[in-house]
């Protein structure tokens, strides 16, 4: 098991991609600290890991509140001596046309998706510096790489997080801390079910993704497990797109079938 003996914290892991990552880390031998702003979700996700034979505990964490972040990491230090693996996954998304986007919603996107990731990553890095090693994985997004309709706040916040990932990697790598990002494509989860409800969104993604399907949360979890493991020792500052080829695709149209 690649993560045996490691202490891993995943934010927003009471559901969706975060929960899948927590489950995968536990299956790889890590003690996973499930965190969520909703206590019931965190408790249920941790209980599920334990039921399946994994090691897990949980805590309540509001990534946008420094007091909550500080309390959570102090508890982790007291209970486990610090974190070895940290995944910045917690996030929120609101879709609206640019000219109608509300300032309050834009500020919320930045506060949770970017400032929250900055805060949590900083506290995690401080613990890892004392250990001389660590892994930080930021969940970014295709929306931070391309101009998607309706993604004003979400895209801006994720673009900021992608650059922050690279800055973190450059500054922390001399101290044994690898920092990378994962940019999911359209993934079937509780969050995307709500965000992609707009007319035409699902049809557009299924056409624009060369694999012509949504991804599964377990496929993001597999990438996270790789980046958290020793198999990725020399990978640093990289954004790994797990998107079915969406970010690579150019012109696409049906080609006539040819015989080999």
Structure tokens that stand for 17 in this block? 């991609």
**Which residues have a Cβ under 8 Å from the Cβ of 162 and sit 6 or more positions away?**
138, 140, 144, 145, 181, 183, 239
Residues noted as catalytic: 154
CB 157 within 8 A of CB 143: no
């Amino acid at each position: 098991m690649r993560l045996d003996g490691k202490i891993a914290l995943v934010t927003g892991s009471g559901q969706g991609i975060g929960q899948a990552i927590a489950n995968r880390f536990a299956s790889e031998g890590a003690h996973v600290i499930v965190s969520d702003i909703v206590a019931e979700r965190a408790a249920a996700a941790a209980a599920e890991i334990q039921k399946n034979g994994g090691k897990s505990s949980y805590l309540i964490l509001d990534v946008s509140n420094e007091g909550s972040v500080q309390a959570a990491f102090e508890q982790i230090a007291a209970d486990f001596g610090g974190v070895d693996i940290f995944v910045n996954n917690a996030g929120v998304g609101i879709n609206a046309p640019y000219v109608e986007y509300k300032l309050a919603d834009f500020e919320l996107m930045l506060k949770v998706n970017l400032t929250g990731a900055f805060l949590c990553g900083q506290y995690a890095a401080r613990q890892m510096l004392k250990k001389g090693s660590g892994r930080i994985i930021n969940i970014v997004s295709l929306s931070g790489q391309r101009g998607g309709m309706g993604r004003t706040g979400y895209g801006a916040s994720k673009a900021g997080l992608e650059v922050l990932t690279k800055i973190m990697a450059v500054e922390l790598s001399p101290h044994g801390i690898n920092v990378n990002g994962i940019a999911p494509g359209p993934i079937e989860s509780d969050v995307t079910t709500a965000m992609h409800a707009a007319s035409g969104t699902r049809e557009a993604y299924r056409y624009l993704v060369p694999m012509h399907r949504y991804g599964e949360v377990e496929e993001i979890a597999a990438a996270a497990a790789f980046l958290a493991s020793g198999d990725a020792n020399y990978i640093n500052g990289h954004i790994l797109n797990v998107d079915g080829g969406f970010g690579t695709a150019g012109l696409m149209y049906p080609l006539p079938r040819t015989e080999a």
